[in-house]
A and B are shown apart, each in its own frame.
Chain A
Amino acid sequence: MNLTLILPITIPMLTAILTMLLLKSRRAQRAVSMLGALALFVASLWLLADVWRNGIQAEQMGNWPAPYGVTLVADLFGAIMVLLAGIIGLAVAMYSLVSIDPEREAFGYHSLYHFLLMGVCGAFLTGDLFNLYVWFEVMLMASFVLMALGGERGQMEGAIKYVTLNLLSSALFLSALGLLYAMAGTLNMADLAAKFSSITAAQPHGLVTTLAMLFLVAFGIKAAVFPLFFWLPASYHTPPAAVSALFAGLLTKVGVYALIRVFTLIFVQDVGYTHTLILVIAGLTMVTGVLGAVAQNEFRRVLSFHIVSQIGYMIMGLGLFTPYALAGSVFYIAHHIIVKTNLFLVSGIVERLGGTPELKKLGGLYQSQPSLALLFLVPAMSLAGLPPLSGFFAKLSLVRAGLEVGQYTIVAVSLGVGLLTLFSMIKLWNEAFWKPVPEVVGNNSETAANLRAWLIPIAFLASITIIIGGIAGQTFALALLAGEQLMNPALYIQAVLGGAP
């Protein structure tokens, strides 16, 4: 039994159950939640080290052999994603301790938080498409409640849109699963990858592509790609900042992960059609996202639109479909998860200090909070892709991958969008930090001393951003290995079906 694969799922599960049992005691809940997040972080590091040293790890739950049992697999991509979930889980747990109000804690915030992490880690580790659906539902259920917990009017309106669109996407995913099973007779991803080309040879060509498109739409809604992203900016700014940060960092990326997994492992018969389409979608996602952001005037709404825009970059690597491009995608996802979560954490402090999310009424934070301003600049400039921060290397690798295969249009689009991202980040900087405080300020009761503890997780994530940028060579080498594994499904298939212990 390989413990490393199971721990990232069982640790959040146990933590969630424990915090639920300790619902009466706020202090015990907080301590357990923090310990659980820390343990998950350590376990995810251990998993990545294991996969790095020993290659793709696979485990059959209940000892049923591969295509029949429940398979857990961790290749480098999956392990990197689990590590990112561990990092974000730790940072946002810290932030939750200081920022979440006692009412939400009394209604099981910490428990839901860890159930969400369990769903996310499960989705990254499962080797079976139906289990992926189940993990999606675990994650969604927790996120639904987190989104609605608190019951403010804006939250309710956001939640109803979020819930409806996600249920629609789940139904599409499930339909696609049913049709895929009818065609292939298996839902184990490695088994599918091994058999799929011989199965589809006998099928009408259009049927396979239709199925691929069904998956593309289902995961596309979850990943918030063009034109399926409208639920995201309508809901992500409504819950507390800690919840938005967690969602912004992890949830849409699970959709991206599923897209990359399915379109590198299974639907690779008609790359000329499907992946070109993905490339077009990537370009449109980038452009509409960034243009939407430019038009917004609230801190978190700007950031929400930037999530959409950044998803485009991640999908771009998949559309280009070379090992180097997929490495760029992996690198970009890693960079984006950390940076975007951090920006949402900063937005929580800014809104608390300024008493409003509206940029017009904010200001003067550079003068009153220089350390916060500095900590905002790191992720903001990284998001815009300025060297020597992580975003620069992420964009560089994608652009280089695009130039290598001669897709000049998408390269031009991505560079232009990078410029607009910079513009948007400078707007946030100018409005919230640089310009003088507007005359009328709401009841600004928070003093700076109260917020010192809020800065710790932000500093933690900012230092990771700087480290990723600083050792970009090594991190990119890791991403390149992950990309090569993704482009060579034989390794994955062998780990699941062949080399079972």
Chain B
Amino acid sequence: MEIILAFVIGGLFAASIYMLLRRSLVKLLIGLALLSHATNLLIFTAAKLTRGNPPVIGADATALTPPFADPLPQALILTAIVISFGVMAFALALAYRVYRSVGTDDLDQMRGTDV
């Protein structure tokens, strides 16, 4: 399972970098969205996948017996998803404003402030 997910994560990272390097503003945003998905999956996979063992202490036990699924990475991912959701919403609004004020979605045209 880890192997499959590793390939999925690699594919997502590659796709997101490819999209980030495109000239279109919308594709840049898609790239950013994919990037956060890839990162979340990476955390999820790196912290080892454990199936069918929730971190719940049974009625007849006093402590967790390994192996159990580590809940912390999932809490981290949840936080990261919320943050990336907010950031994406802002980025979409910003992209729209950029499009309105610059009049194009071609990133190559936005060189006014470059050095």
- Chain A residues within 8 Å of B, Cβ to Cβ: 130, 133-134, 137, 140-141, 144-145, 148, 151-154, 156-161, 163-164, 167-168, 171, 174-175, 177-179, 181-182, 230, 233-235, 237-238, 292, 296, 301
Which residues of B come within 8 Å of A, CB atoms? 20, 25, 28, 32, 35-36, 38-40, 42-44, 46-48, 72-73, 76, 79-80, 83, 86-87, 90-91, 94-95, 97-98, 101-102, 107, 110-115
| Secondary structure dominating the interface of B | helix
Q: Hey, which chain A residues are within 8 Å of B40, CB to CB? A: 174
What B residues does A156 contact at CB under 8 A?
A: 94, 97-98, 101-102, 110
B12 to chain A minimum Cβ distance, whole angstroms, is 11
Given A174-B80, A178-B76, answer yes or no on A153-B43 (Cβ-Cβ < 8 Å): no
Residues in A with CB closer than 8 Å to B98 are 156-157, 159-160
Residues of A within 8 A of B110 (CB): 156-157, 160-161
When C-beta atoms are compared, the residue in chain A nearest to B79 turns out to be A134
A148-B97, A163-B91, A181-B47 in contact; A157/B112 too (CB < 8 A)? yes
The answer to whether A178 touches B39 (Cβ under 8 A) is yes
Q: Are A182 and B48 in contact (CB under 8 A)?
A: yes
Q: Are A141's CB and B87's CB within 8 A?
A: yes
Residue of B nearest to A138 (CB): B83
Q: Find the residue from A133, A137, A154, A174 having the highest chain B CB count within 10 A.
A: A174
A163 pairs with B94, CB closer than 8 A: yes
Minimum CB–CB distance from B91 to chain A (whole Å) comes to 6
Which residue of A158, A167, A178 contacts B87 across the interface (Cβ within 8 Å)? A167
Given contacts A148-B94, A178-B43, A237-B113, 9 further A-B contacts (CB under 8 A): A141-B90, A151-B101, A157-B98, A157-B110, A157-B113, A160-B98, A164-B28, A177-B43, A235-B113
Set A151, A168, A181, A296: member contacting B115, Cβ < 8 A: A296
Distance in angstroms between the alpha carbons of A451 and B94 in the assembled complex? 33
B87 contacts A152, C-beta separation under 8 Å: no
Q: Is the CB of B101 within 8 A of A171?
A: no
Name the distance in Å between A71's Cβ and chain B's nearest Cβ.
15
Complex formed: what's the CA distance from A160 to B24 in Å? Answer: 12
Bound-state CA distance A167–B32 (Å) is: 7
